[in-house]
Amino acid sequence: MHSRVTTLLAWGGLLGLSQAACPFADPAALDKRDDTQSGDFLDKYKVDDSSGYLSSDVGGPMGDQVSLKAGMRGSTLLEDFIFRQKIQHFDHERVPERAVHARGAGAHGTFTSYGDWSNLTAASFLSAADKKTPVFVRFSTVAGSRGSADTARDVHGFATRFYTDEGNFDIVGNNIPVFFIQDAIQFPDLIHAVKPRPDNEIPQAATAHDSAWDFFSSQPSTLHTLFWAMAGNGIPRSFRHMDGFGVNTYRLVKEDGSSKLVKWHWKTRQGKASLVWEEAQVLAGKNADFHRQDLWDAIESGNGPEWELGVQVVDEDKALAFGFDLLDPTKILPEEFAPVTKLGVMKLDQNPTNYFAETEQAMFQPGHIVRGIDFSEDPLLQGRLFSYLDTQLNRNGGPNFEQLPINMPRAAIHNNNRDGAGQGFIHKNIYHYFPNTLNNGFPLQANQTTGRGFFTAPGRRANGELVRLISPTFNDHWTQPRLFYNSLTPIEQQFLINAIRFETSHVKSTTVKQNVLAQLNRISNDVAVRVAAALGLDAPAPDDTFYHNNVTAGVSIFNNGTLPSIKTLRVGVLASTQAAGGSSVQQAGQVKELLEKSGVVVTVVGEMLGEGVDQTYSAADATAFDGVLVAEGAEGLFAADGKASTLFPAGRPGQVLIDAYRWGKPVGALGKGEEAFKSVGVPVGGEGVYSETGVEEIVKGLEGGLARFRFTDRFALDG
């Protein structure tokens, strides 16, 4: 970091950045960082290479990028500082990837408060209607390394930083409202069990292996989160189509010191949607960047995603009132017990300028809270408060990473923290201790009446003997997974069972598989029997002590009707460049024009690129589309023998169509294009299968199908 700071200062002159514009030169300049537009406060750090000469890290302009040698054919000289600096910087380009959540993508945006929420919290970013606060969000998967595929089945990180005018507040959440374990001390065990084997580092970004299921079945606190991950939440259609949750219980504290327990929620405005498993697997090979690309493209096209921030609020004395402990992070607080109050809306509308500087160096911490927000005693949260800071010291090699532009708060920083690797501030105060008189006592201690100082909720109580125990109020691991399962549609239940079958089929140990069945049976005998059938094992006898028929609203992905908007969804129009004298591509163009009016992204596919054709059959794939349409004249490409043309691998057009159909996507055909359905076995007239002769009619049908998103009657149900 040290070299970055010097570079910034040195380049300030060369590239026209004034010293005053660089906050490192004058910490007081930080006081003026009052911008509220997404990411704009980073502009002052950006280096513009649109003019100027190549220069070394210490500012000297450089000539030929060829190393200095002892003679034309001689060795490179140690004295070549230009060579040394360049190679040395390259050698140190990487920092350790995140120990978990290594794979991710970020974006800037703005949070707007719906109102004055001082009835709930003293947090300033929630103090007035329309108050705007810049945010940075990073979405991630957990298990895979930095280069792993986006669509691996996993819990997804949803970390949000609010650059409030009273300091940074992070909600470091996930897209699943519960977590696997109840005590942070088990985190290394969980992650060791889930990550690749220590001997051969296999498998990457997957839980379909012995050690993961050994841990899950030995540690039943994992079951609830596991069920969410095995359902559609583990394979969302995009980051934009998932909700987010703070998971741990926090406190909101009012100006008068009174506090309530809260759970944070992000409710997607795009609607919830998931992929199907085979599609996700294919995507892992076809487009490992599927989710980051989707987010990037949506923002670039002006369709940045939005989420509403909500809280479930519970009185301090009601933590045990709902049949479970609100401090237990393996439990949801069903919305029937406490509705979600929506506090404001976040829109992401700016992509990062530099992935490393922003997304990779963003250091989120559950411990980044502001006045008006406080922690709870949830033992998982308590452990997290140590871990994030600790791992970030490791990633950054020193304590000054909060000074990196992406981490720097908008609020002024005045304290007596000094020095350390990469110190970027030049502190003028030589009396850097408190209390002092020689600097007139500055910086002063803030308290509730002056300086709006942070305060711990006075209602928090600590008493009791020291124990190394998990509270008995955390003991029930089976009621809520069943509640989740009961609340899914039959096809979602089937997907969940199929996912467990897939994962446990990769498990070699019979003991582990039997342990899994024993745990599943405590949730549901139906699940245990259906999984056992695939594993060729006997399911245990039903155990009624654990079963109930309760359901809760809002956890299903598939029973939410239609998506609120089809904007940014993608349609592939399969046309023929060679057939029908160009009319096929022309018709595809008409479809494209109409669909684009609704914000749908259309790709016209043909045998070869050219006027009106965006993609070839060689590269096209059903994973790239949310719906597929066959234009008239293309039907000849779907011949059953697959040899319609030598311009693409045999059978590709048919594969695109049949995959789209098999994965539940709407498909359509214009006029004779319908013959393509027959060639590949798509049943004409089925739900979500549209045949029309008019372009307007087919577009209308397809748009309805896109809003439905997936036609689940195409998937088989057991029995």
User: Which residues are known to be catalytic?
Assistant: 101, 174
Q: 695-708 vs 583-597: helix axis angle to the nearest 10?
A: 50
Distance (Å, whole) CA 221 – CA 249: 17
CB of 388 to ligand HDE, least distance (A): 4
Total Cβ atoms within 10 A of residue 306? 18
- By the rule CB under 6 A, 311 interacts with ligand HDE: no
The SS3 call for residue 308 is: strand
The residues, any chain, with a CB within 8 Å of residue 116's CB and separated by 6 or more, are: 126, 127, 128, 129
Total Cβ atoms within 10 A of residue 596? 12
Helix, strand, coil share (%) of the chain residues, nearest 5:
35, 15, 50
> Exactly one of 179, 277, 290, 617 binds ligand HDE (CB under 6 A); which one?
179
User: Closer to ligand HDE at the Cβ: 156 or 530?
Assistant: 156
> Exactly one of 8, 120, 159, 629 binds ligand HDE (CB under 6 A); which one?
159
CB of 195 to ligand HDE, least distance (A): 12
CB of 198 to ligand HDE, least distance (A): 18
- By the rule CB under 6 A, 244 interacts with ligand HDE: no
> Exactly one of 259, 392, 576, 578 binds ligand HDE (CB under 6 A); which one?
392
User: Closer to ligand HDE at the Cβ: 140 or 578?
Assistant: 140
Distance (Å, whole) CA 377 – CA 354: 38
CB of 12 to ligand HDE, least distance (A): 29
> Exactly one of 115, 196, 203, 383 binds ligand HDE (CB under 6 A); which one?
383
649 neighbors 683 (Cβ within 8 angstroms): no
Distance (Å, whole) CA 340 – CA 338: 7
Of 42-50, 96-104, 444-452, 502-510, the window that binds ligand HDE (rule: CB under 6 A) is 96-104
- By the rule CB under 6 A, 380 interacts with ligand HDE: yes
- By the rule CB under 6 A, 388 interacts with ligand HDE: yes
User: Closer to ligand HDE at the Cβ: 204 or 439?
Assistant: 204
Distance (Å, whole) CA 55 – CA 13: 12
In the chain, count H helices and then E strands.
16, 16
475 neighbors 696 (Cβ within 8 angstroms): no
- By the rule CB under 6 A, 145 interacts with ligand HDE: no
Q: Which residue is nearest to ligand HDE (CB)?
A: 157
221 neighbors 477 (Cβ within 8 angstroms): yes
> With contacts defined by CB under 6 A, how many residues of the chain interact with ligand HDE?
28
168 neighbors 406 (Cβ within 8 angstroms): no
580: amino acid identity, one letter: A
57 neighbors 85 (Cβ within 8 angstroms): yes
300: amino acid identity, one letter: E
Of 97-105, 593-601, 611-619, 659-667, the window that binds ligand HDE (rule: CB under 6 A) is 97-105
CA distances from residue 212 to 180, 512, 629 in whole angstroms, order as listed: 12, 10, 41
User: Closer to ligand HDE at the Cβ: 127 or 330?
Assistant: 330
Of 119-127, 179-187, 602-610, 691-699, the window that binds ligand HDE (rule: CB under 6 A) is 179-187
User: Closer to ligand HDE at the Cβ: 167 or 329?
Assistant: 329
DSSP type of residue 419: -
Total Cβ atoms within 10 A of residue 694? 10
User: Closer to ligand HDE at the Cβ: 113 or 396?
Assistant: 396
Q: Is 163 within any annotated ligand binding site?
A: no
> Exactly one of 1, 45, 101, 243 binds ligand HDE (CB under 6 A); which one?
101
- By the rule CB under 6 A, 195 interacts with ligand HDE: no
Question: Which residues fall in the annotated binding site for heme?
Answer: 388
List residues near ligand HDE by CB under 6 A: 98-101, 104, 138, 140, 157, 159, 172-174, 179, 184, 187, 247-248, 329, 362-364, 380, 383-384, 387-388, 391-392
Question: Which residues fall in the annotated binding site?
Answer: 388
